[in-house]
Amino acid sequence: AQTVTQSQPEMSVQEAETVTLSCTYDTSESNYYLFWYKQPPSRQMILVIRQEAYKQQNATENRFSVNFQKAAKSFSLKISDSQLGDTAMYFCAFKPHVNAGGTSYGKLTFGQGTILTVHP
Protein backbone atom coordinates (compact mmCIF):
# COMPACT_ATOMS: atom_id res chain seq x y z
CA ALA A 1 0.00 0.00 0.00
CA GLN A 2 1.08 3.52 -0.68
CA THR A 3 1.38 6.24 1.93
CA VAL A 4 1.72 9.98 1.49
CA THR A 5 3.09 12.18 4.27
CA GLN A 6 2.90 15.93 4.59
CA SER A 7 4.86 16.89 7.66
CA GLN A 8 3.83 20.55 7.79
CA PRO A 9 0.31 20.96 9.18
CA GLU A 10 0.44 24.72 8.73
CA MET A 11 2.61 27.22 6.87
CA SER A 12 2.45 30.95 6.43
CA VAL A 13 4.12 33.34 4.01
CA GLN A 14 4.08 37.01 3.19
CA GLU A 15 2.54 38.15 -0.03
CA ALA A 16 5.04 38.14 -2.95
CA GLU A 17 7.41 35.78 -1.16
CA THR A 18 8.19 32.16 -1.94
CA VAL A 19 7.09 29.15 0.08
CA THR A 20 7.80 25.43 -0.24
CA LEU A 21 5.44 22.70 0.92
CA SER A 22 6.88 19.27 1.61
CA CYS A 23 5.58 15.84 0.67
CA THR A 24 7.10 12.40 0.92
CA TYR A 25 5.60 9.12 -0.17
CA ASP A 26 6.26 5.45 0.08
CA THR A 27 5.61 2.99 -2.71
CA SER A 28 7.03 -0.09 -4.36
CA GLU A 29 5.67 1.01 -7.73
CA SER A 30 8.13 2.19 -10.37
CA ASN A 31 5.71 4.23 -12.43
CA TYR A 32 3.15 6.54 -10.94
CA TYR A 33 1.69 10.03 -10.85
CA LEU A 34 2.01 12.66 -8.18
CA PHE A 35 -0.29 15.61 -7.73
CA TRP A 36 -0.73 18.74 -5.70
CA TYR A 37 -4.30 19.81 -5.08
CA LYS A 38 -5.52 23.07 -3.61
CA GLN A 39 -8.66 23.37 -1.51
CA PRO A 40 -9.60 26.98 -0.76
CA PRO A 41 -11.98 27.79 2.08
CA SER A 42 -14.88 27.46 -0.41
CA ARG A 43 -14.07 23.76 -0.38
CA GLN A 44 -13.74 22.74 -4.03
CA MET A 45 -10.56 20.83 -4.74
CA ILE A 46 -8.66 21.90 -7.81
CA LEU A 47 -5.55 20.46 -9.38
CA VAL A 48 -2.46 22.65 -9.08
CA ILE A 49 0.19 20.54 -10.76
CA ARG A 50 0.91 16.99 -11.90
CA GLN A 51 4.17 15.04 -12.20
CA GLU A 52 4.70 11.75 -13.98
CA ALA A 53 7.34 9.64 -12.29
CA TYR A 54 9.03 8.57 -15.51
CA LYS A 55 9.73 12.20 -16.41
CA GLN A 56 12.90 13.57 -14.90
CA GLN A 57 12.02 17.17 -15.61
CA ASN A 58 10.20 18.91 -12.81
CA ALA A 59 6.71 20.11 -13.68
CA THR A 60 5.91 23.82 -13.64
CA GLU A 61 2.65 25.72 -13.93
CA ASN A 62 3.15 29.47 -13.87
CA ARG A 63 4.07 30.35 -10.26
CA PHE A 64 3.90 26.73 -9.13
CA SER A 65 6.73 24.28 -9.54
CA VAL A 66 7.76 21.00 -8.01
CA ASN A 67 11.01 19.46 -6.87
CA PHE A 68 10.61 15.78 -7.64
CA GLN A 69 13.29 13.54 -6.15
CA LYS A 70 12.34 10.00 -7.13
CA ALA A 71 15.10 8.21 -5.26
CA ALA A 72 14.27 10.09 -2.09
CA LYS A 73 10.51 9.74 -2.73
CA SER A 74 10.07 13.43 -2.22
CA PHE A 75 7.71 15.76 -4.04
CA SER A 76 7.72 19.35 -2.78
CA LEU A 77 5.68 22.25 -4.12
CA LYS A 78 7.17 25.70 -4.52
CA ILE A 79 4.89 28.69 -4.81
CA SER A 80 6.62 31.81 -6.07
CA ASP A 81 5.32 35.37 -5.73
CA SER A 82 2.65 34.21 -3.28
CA GLN A 83 -0.76 35.83 -3.62
CA LEU A 84 -3.61 36.20 -1.15
CA GLY A 85 -5.65 33.84 -3.32
CA ASP A 86 -3.12 31.09 -2.66
CA THR A 87 -4.46 30.78 0.88
CA ALA A 88 -5.86 27.25 1.02
CA MET A 89 -5.26 23.74 2.19
CA TYR A 90 -2.84 21.90 -0.08
CA PHE A 91 -2.88 18.16 -0.54
CA CYS A 92 -0.21 15.97 -2.04
CA ALA A 93 -1.60 12.86 -3.75
CA PHE A 94 -0.25 9.67 -5.31
CA LYS A 95 -1.64 7.37 -7.97
CA PRO A 96 0.09 4.29 -9.36
CA HIS A 97 0.20 4.15 -13.14
CA VAL A 98 -1.58 0.83 -13.05
CA ASN A 99 -3.34 -0.30 -9.90
CA ALA A 100 -2.93 -3.98 -10.68
CA GLY A 101 -5.40 -6.20 -8.93
CA GLY A 102 -6.75 -3.38 -6.83
CA THR A 103 -10.36 -3.20 -5.85
CA SER A 104 -10.39 0.54 -6.47
CA TYR A 105 -8.61 0.94 -9.74
CA GLY A 106 -7.00 4.31 -10.19
CA LYS A 107 -7.74 5.69 -6.76
CA LEU A 108 -5.67 8.53 -5.35
CA THR A 109 -4.01 8.39 -1.96
CA PHE A 110 -3.89 11.78 -0.25
CA GLY A 111 -1.57 13.23 2.36
CA GLN A 112 -2.82 14.88 5.50
CA GLY A 113 -2.77 18.35 4.00
CA THR A 114 -0.94 21.61 4.73
CA ILE A 115 -2.84 24.78 5.54
CA LEU A 116 -1.13 27.68 3.82
CA THR A 117 -1.92 31.24 4.83
CA VAL A 118 -0.66 34.15 2.75
CA HIS A 119 -0.44 37.38 4.71
CA PRO A 120 -0.67 40.83 3.13
Partner 1 sequence: SAVISQKPSRDICQRGTSLTIQCQVDSQVTMMFWYRQQPGQSLTLIATANQGSEATYESGFVIDKFPISRPNLTFSTLTVSNMSPEDSSIYLCSGRLAGNTGELFFGEGSRLTVL
| Cα–Cα distance measured from residue 53 to residue 73, given in angstroms and rounded to the nearest whole number | 10
x-marked contacts with partner 1 along 44-73 as a string, rule CB under 8 A = xxxx--x-x---------------------
By CB under 8 A, which span of 19-27, 59-67, 70-78, 88-96 interacts with partner 1?
Answer: 88-96
Cα angle at 2 between 113 and 96, to 5 degrees?
100
Which range touches partner 1 (CB under 8 A), out of 57-65, 66-74, 76-84, 89-97? 89-97
- Of residues 98 through 117, those in contact with partner 1 by CB under 8 A are 103-108, 110-113, 115
When the beta carbons of 28 and 103 are compared against partner 1, the nearer one is 103
Q: Is 35 in the site for partner 1 (CB under 8 A)?
A: yes
Handedness of CA 105, 30, 49, 11 (dihedral sign): positive
Nearer to partner 1, 17 or 22 (CB): 22
